[in-house]
Structure 1
Amino acid sequence: MWDRLLTDCHVLTMVPTPGDPLGVVRNAAIGIHEGRIVRVGRRTELAGTRAAEVVPLGGAFVTPGLIDCHTHLVFGGTRAAEHAMRRAGATYEEIAAAGGGIASTVRATAAASVTELLDQSRARLHALIRGGVTTVEIKSGYGLDPASELRLLNIVRTLARSEPVRIVPTLLALHALPQGADRAAFVERMIEDLLPTVARLGLATSVDAFCEGIAFTHAETERLFEAAAAHGLPVRLHAEQLSNSNGAALAARHQALSADHLEHLDEAGAAAMAAAGTVAVLLPGAFYTLRETKRPPVDLLRRHKVRIAVASDCNPGTSPCLVPQLAMNMACTLFGLTPEEAIAGMTVNAAHALGLAGEVGTLQPGKAADLAVWRIAEPQELGYWLGLMPERRIFRGQDQ
């Protein structure tokens, strides 16, 4: 006997079939046992199946639980004042040069107690959960010294152990250079001191960096990635956000799970990503907040058959986004994704970006029973509405 049988629904399996990129099964049912999917099929095919609980969904659409594969969720304070500065015309670089940007969040984060950081981060996490997220990546990066980064990753671990959501912790080891710091000494400390400690304690499952003119160089990033590989940790990269620094090709060379942002990606970078299987993570919230005008080259990614993921990039300065479906809408409206691409971007492709494609992202037997139930008439509405919330969210087989 199964634990649950969800009936009277239409299922977006996210396993493409000819002519149907969403793999829709209409008039469907889903069998769940011990937190996993055991059967997905037409309701008539599952008729007579025994389950401890039968849950009719009244014609709703069911997707895999949403996957937010790029967030900076743990931080102190806000940067609302910088929002006003941007509206007055200040650029990202000008705000950073004036002591704002990442540096201001680092100060606010250092000033907050662990309890305050937990409370603030938990509230943001709850907002994503309400929006249908069942898996979320959370980066460190607002500590900028080993002790502070470990503090943040331990907060991420506490959230993972106390909330009904799958959390993927990432060490953002090279995010920004502290003001007045010796550059070589800082990079050395983060790679030779912090990274081995994080690996030994199991506080992160991947390593990230910000490769950009205002951040870290190719050589510094490459050194970090080589050290990560030595510790058995996969990598991802903030790349080509503000300029074409060939970061995507660098990421691909190290078999990165993802390269993220990519507004200035060129064809060589796209080809390298395709060859390496590196996922393109698009972050329309940052594009919108920064009022950028150069869009990621979506047609280039399509032509090279690079998987496209979409994420909220929730962070205090450039993407204060707490509604995952809004990121899907913005990916369609601002970047030209189809609704089907946007849905895949926060399900199956986001799972690949986190190295979790065997566990989540599609509705198939054996996968985790992480689902979102939507009161919509057609799947395309998931790319249409602004801030749509699911009717219910199921995590590991149970309503949460």
Structure 2
Amino acid sequence: MDTNWDCLLLDCRLASLVDNGRPYGRIDDAAVAWKDGHITFAGPRAELPAAPAALAREVDSLRGAWITPGLIDCHTHLVFAGDRALEYEQRLNGVSYEDIARAGGGINSTVRQTRAASIDELLAQSLPRAEALRADGVTTLEIKSGYGLNLAGERTMLQVARRIGEVLGIGVRTTFLGAHALPPEFAGNQSGYVDEVCIHMMPALAAEGLVDAVDAFCEKIAFTPSETRRVLETAHGLGLPVKLHADQLSDSHGAALVAEFRGLSADHIEYTGTAGVKAMAAAGTVAVLLPGAFHVLRETQLPPIAALREHGVAMAVSTDLNPGTSPLLSLRLAMSLACTLFRLTPEEALRGATVHAARALGLGDRGRVAAGLRADLAVWDIDEPAELCYWLGDRGAQRVYAGGKRLI
């Protein structure tokens, strides 16, 4: 075993999420060490190969705290300008979404504000949201475009997303969501806008190295299955992995569609039927559950949790952070909502925000605490892992490490 480690943490309890026959992959009286940003030891302290002082340059006691993998928020719309708090109030006072949209609100309100913001302004507005997630234990997050809806606007959003990762020292995966909504300049010409997305926007942004994956909103109020298929085919031709906003408001067979392309994930999926679940299982497509939007929209149609369990579909949990339907700045609160609203167990929710969220981003080097993986860790002042879902609005992580570097 290569020693001379950079750091060794002792006097801790570990929820490794490695299958070791114990809930949470639990190890009491654990030790975790890393070198050059990757874990070198994660196991019982008694199995350390030598005295701690002989193994690492830095040895630190956590005084009984818990270590988990760094959390992974695998579905966010974090980069945007402005907010829609007044629309939220209007909806609660009985104004319909359609009336708000006709008055210039809805997603086009965010598009206008985002297009008008400079790259520096957009970064200044978006960075605090990412900082809140980092304080909550998040070491990797996905950020979608989709509020620019033209080449310049989408490029700026993706550039800001990359910059957030650099500034905060966390992992950021960028997703091109040009097929999010129809921009006002293409009113009445949806096929023309799909041309713009597939012929001009996606290839250009991919060539600039700004796109890690491609998403689309397949729904009756957004893009049809045939239009969505074209977006996914274009991404496939460019060698980009795909995911999909699928079956949120109706069963448009979006989950089965993205599974055809061996998509990373199908997200929302409240209305996905058994055929879609089976297709996801066969393709290894992760189900991303988004209880924040379910809560804010006061939905009643639950995702097919029993069918997902029955067919062995991995379930990730994410915030869906966005200004319109999920202004949620805590992944742990999303985990709690997934337990309360969707009846996940706390262990399923934690795995959903780590192991399965990593899969939903196509990342095999994180999401568990095991030798060889990235040293992305969160340290918690708790007595049991279930507290991560139990407490509502308590303090964040005690420490956060990303690639072995302490961020908090």
TM-score (norm 1): 0.97
User: What secondary structure does 1:58 align onto?
Assistant: coil
* Structure 1: 4+ residue segments shifted above 3 A: 89-99
1:6 paired to 2:9: yes
Query: Which is worse superposed, 155-164 or 58-67?
Result: 155-164
Matched with 2:121 is: 116
The letter for the 1-side match of 2:225 is H
User: What secondary structure does 2:294 align onto?
Assistant: helix
Q: Distance in 2 between matches of 1:165 and 1:91?
A: 39
User: What secondary structure does 1:4 align onto?
Assistant: strand
Matched with 2:386 is: 380
User: What secondary structure does 1:331 align onto?
Assistant: helix
The letter for the 1-side match of 2:146 is G
Displacement after TM superposition at 1:293 (Å): 1.2
Query: Which is worse superposed, 9-18 or 223-232?
Result: 9-18
Matched with 1:263 is: 270
1:17 to 15, 20, 28: 20
The letter for the 2-side match of 1:2 is W
User: What secondary structure does 2:147 align onto?
Assistant: coil
Determine if contact 2:11/2:63 at 8 Å carries over to the other structure. yes
Determine if contact 1:92/1:290 at 8 Å carries over to the other structure. no
Are residues 260 and 96 of structure 1, via their aligned partners in 2, closer, same or farther at CA, if it must alter by over 3 Å?
Answer: farther
1:363 to 369, 387, 391: 369
Q: Distance in 1 between matches of 2:360 and 2:225?
A: 22
Displacement after TM superposition at 1:100 (Å): 2.1
Q: Distance in 2 between matches of 1:200 and 1:113?
A: 22
The letter for the 2-side match of 1:34 is D
Q: Distance in 2 between matches of 1:108 and 1:261?
A: 26
Matched with 1:43 is: 45
Q: Distance in 1 between matches of 2:393 and 2:349?
A: 14
The letter for the 2-side match of 1:30 is V
Q: Distance in 2 between matches of 1:87 and 1:229?
A: 41
User: What secondary structure does 1:287 align onto?
Assistant: helix
The letter for the 2-side match of 1:212 is E
User: What secondary structure does 2:372 align onto?
Assistant: coil
1:340 paired to 2:347: yes
Displacement after TM superposition at 1:98 (Å): 4.4
User: What secondary structure does 1:210 align onto?
Assistant: strand
1:272 paired to 2:290: no
The letter for the 1-side match of 2:35 is H
1:183-221 superposed Cα distances (whole Å, 9 cap, x missing partner) = 121110111001111111110110000000000011111
1:212-223 correspondence runs (5 A) = 212-223=219-230
Q: Distance in 2 between matches of 1:272 and 1:92?
A: 33
Matched with 2:36 is: 34
1:134 to 132, 139, 143: 139
Which runs of 5 or more residues in structure 2 are unaligned? Answer: none
Q: Distance in 1 between matches of 2:352 and 2:60?
A: 28
Determine if contact 1:73/1:315 at 8 Å carries over to the other structure. yes
Determine if contact 1:67/1:133 at 8 Å carries over to the other structure. yes
1:53 paired to 2:58: yes
Q: Distance in 2 between matches of 1:160 and 1:31?
A: 24
Matched with 1:168 is: 173
Q: Distance in 2 between matches of 1:346 and 1:90?
A: 35
Matched with 1:63 is: 68
Matched with 1:295 is: 302
Q: Distance in 2 between matches of 1:43 and 1:91?
A: 59
Q: Distance in 1 between matches of 2:376 and 2:183?
A: 40
Determine if contact 1:256/1:278 at 8 Å carries over to the other structure. yes
Displacement after TM superposition at 1:16 (Å): 1.9
Are residues 297 and 91 of structure 1, via their aligned partners in 2, closer, same or farther at CA, if it must alter by over 3 Å?
Answer: farther
1:92-120 superposed Cα distances (whole Å, 9 cap, x missing partner) = 55544543221110011112222111101
User: What secondary structure does 1:160 align onto?
Assistant: helix
User: What secondary structure does 1:177 align onto?
Assistant: coil
The letter for the 1-side match of 2:383 is A
1:304-346 superposed Cα distances (whole Å, 9 cap, x missing partner) = 1100000011110111011111111111011110000000010
User: What secondary structure does 2:240 align onto?
Assistant: coil
The letter for the 2-side match of 1:253 is E
User: What secondary structure does 2:278 align onto?
Assistant: helix
Q: Distance in 2 between matches of 1:322 and 1:296?
A: 22
Query: Which is worse superposed, 273-282 or 290-299?
Result: 290-299
Matched with 1:239 is: 246
1:253-300 superposed Cα distances (whole Å, 9 cap, x missing partner) = 111100001111111111110000000000111111111111112111
User: What secondary structure does 2:350 align onto?
Assistant: helix
1:84 paired to 2:89: yes
Q: Distance in 1 between matches of 2:333 and 2:385?
A: 15
2:148 to 143, 152, 175: 143
1:227 paired to 2:234: yes
Determine if contact 1:170/1:205 at 8 Å carries over to the other structure. yes
Displacement after TM superposition at 1:162 (Å): 2.3
Which runs of 5 or more residues in structure 1 are unaligned? Answer: none
Q: Distance in 1 between matches of 2:96 and 2:180?
A: 19
The letter for the 2-side match of 1:77 is G
Q: Distance in 2 between matches of 1:259 and 1:90?
A: 31
Q: How many residues align?
A: 398
